Chain A
């Protein structure tokens, strides 16, 4: 069977370029360019001067590269506050996410224990129903967590999709491993730490990356629960730099040109700075997400 497939493929795709191939190439490449161009444009603006921005209709490669926009951005300070808060969120939030998810996923993956179905449904129900923002806000208020980083850290503890993905991975591991460890007298926690986790590094890494990206992109809970200027998360800092200033700027365009600083450049520098970490982890994410997505989609 294994030998048939490649041979068949070769016969089927008999290396002949058809019109269909050219049409596909054009359409797919066009869509790809439509995705890439805005990024290049953003990057180009962040490295160029205001004169050049006003002169060129479509700015893709700046002729004289300047770092003034980034300087202006960091002098503005909002992005620093954002970075600090979001890094704090990652440091506090990721271990919590991983601890809760891993221990619960492993517990649920155990083959037979009383009330197993109940616990699985306990998780699945939360995929379909949630209280929404008002009860959450009141809960945080009750717990006196409003205006602290803990409200955002705790509000996102377990992602049920990731939990199910991880659980499925654990269930795919050979059960004899755990049984024999049990016979040797190892406790469940010991089995998890010494046997399962070393075997599960791919899934642990994947889920960790997913959580990291989610944390990096967090803003809604932060916007609702934290109203303190020095605890603004990165995404909201970006929002205040780019989106909130959009309206005031449209109203008096003359103001923009007399401005000493090139505000468009500074805004795009903020986009770049917010995006860079995602760009760095994306290659690692990409390695795994197809599998994770597949499991998640089937389970959903």
Chain B
């Protein structure tokens, strides 16, 4: 008996006695499987990451990223003296504050409402309708929105029919932010809702049962059981959006803004895009801005995670083991 166990161990694992090198050699086929992917990651993910060192260099086209001379923090002293940069940061933060206020709760509310619907066929139909726009590119969505919201479009048609005055939704800087929240909700509130619905389906039914026995109303169970039940998911989603505070949605703004609203949509991404590809390009300068943004985002992500743990929620990085293996 002992023999068989020992043999099996030897055959299948053979880890205890052998050295690291022979274990590596044993797994050579696994490494071969990983190889194509790893090569891709190195070339197209890690080399560009190294390219961010341009933030501390002055880019010379003939020398390339590696050869360009280091200049320390000089790019940053320029960056922080550019009023357009400072303004774009404020705009980004302002837009994102609005996103957390007017965009973040909508999918949660939708999920809570849809969860209370009892007719399954209707539920399915609604889900289908809500999730579809998520799969369209922002170019398609912007095209549809330009058609729907322009001065001769459908929404203004309805407003006129009801006796109101046409609103210039697309060309006004004052309603530009609202336009962003509205179109983003139109496009992906339904998609994010799916995450919350999935979380709701994971809540223990026994809790509902006992609440039912205690005679709680549906609104009460929604408030005292469903909402706390998806608290962790809400927290994770909130951390993620805080970690994205420096991105305010390039795709959306690039396609929805126009000459009239360009100023209102001058977020950090648009600023980076503009200094990189439109005026006389300065690659080191825009790398400096990009790096700045990534670092701030990452710091915010860690910070939000800490705050959540401090408040007793699970947070984004539960424990080392879990993140790796799941």
A interface list, Cβ under 8 A from B: 4-5, 8, 11-13, 18, 20-21, 24-25, 27-29, 31-32, 34-39, 41-42, 45, 56-59, 99-101, 103-104, 106-108, 110, 112-115, 117, 119-124, 126, 128-139, 142, 154-155, 157-158, 163-164, 168, 179, 183, 187-189, 192, 213, 216-217, 219-220, 224, 235-236, 238-239, 242-243, 246-247, 250, 264, 267-268, 270-271, 274-275, 278-279, 282, 285-286, 289-290, 293-294, 297-300
Contacts and interface: CB of A to CB of B under 8 A. Distances in A.
A142 B257 CA distance: 33
A101 B146 contact: no
A35 B133 contact: yes
A299 B195 CA distance: 12
19 contacts: A21-B116, A41-B154, A57-B161, A58-B157, A103-B34, A108-B34, A117-B324, A122-B38, A129-B49, A133-B273, A134-B283, A137-B276, A139-B43, A157-B44, A168-B326, A188-B32, A219-B137, A219-B139, A278-B136
Contacts of B20: 114
B64 to A, nearest CB: 7
A274 B135 contact: no
B160 interface: yes
Given A113-B23, A285-B135, 13 more contacts: A5-B205, A8-B212, A37-B154, A38-B147, A57-B157, A58-B161, A103-B36, A104-B34, A119-B34, A121-B324, A130-B49, A271-B143, A293-B195
Contacts of B33: 103-104, 106-107, 110, 188-189, 192
Given A103-B33, A235-B137, A238-B140, A134 B41 contact: no
Interface in B266-286: 272-273, 276-277, 283, 286
B214 to A, nearest CB: 12
B interface SS class = helix
B104 interface: no
Contact of B29 (A163, A187, A268): A187
Contacts of A57: 157-158, 160-161
A286 B283 contact: no
Contacts of B323: 124
Nearest to A27: B113
A220 B251 contact: yes
A114 B23 contact: yes
Interface in B196-252: 197-198, 205, 208-209, 212, 218-219, 233, 236, 240, 250-251
B65 interface: yes
Contacts of A279: 132
Given A32-B130, A131-B45, A243-B143, A107 B30 contact: yes
Contacts of B205: 4-5, 8
A117 B326 CA distance: 12
Chain B CB within 10 Å — which of A103, A138, A179, A192 has the most?
Answer: A138
Nearest to A97: B40
In the A-B complex, the 10 residue pairs with the smallest Cβ-Cβ separation, listed nearest first, are: A135-B51, A131-B48, A104-B37, A107-B33, A57-B157, A217-B137, A113-B27, A188-B29, A135-B48, A132-B290
B308 interface: no
Given A114-B20, A134-B51, A243 B136 contact: no
B5 to A, nearest CB: 16
A243 B38 contact: no
B143 A20 contact: no
A267 B146 CA distance: 11
Contacts of A101: 37
B51 A131 contact: yes
Contact of A107 (B37, B125, B209): B37
A20 B218 contact: yes
A163 to B, nearest CB: 8
Contacts of A126: 41, 45-46
Contacts of A216: 137
A138 B65 contact: yes
Contact of B212 (A11, A38, A59): A11
Given A20-B219, A57-B161, A128-B301, A134 B276 contact: yes
A157 B45 CA distance: 10
A24 B161 contact: no
A58 B154 contact: yes
Contacts of B136: 217, 275, 278
A271 B146 CA distance: 11
Nearest to B254: A220
A36 B40 CA distance: 40
Contacts of B84: none
A31 B188 CA distance: 12
B203 to A, nearest CB: 13
Contacts of A242: 139, 142-143, 146
Contacts of B140: 217, 235, 238, 271, 274-275
A267 B30 contact: no
Contacts of B34: 103-104, 107-108, 119
A183 B287 CA distance: 52
A11 B212 CA distance: 9
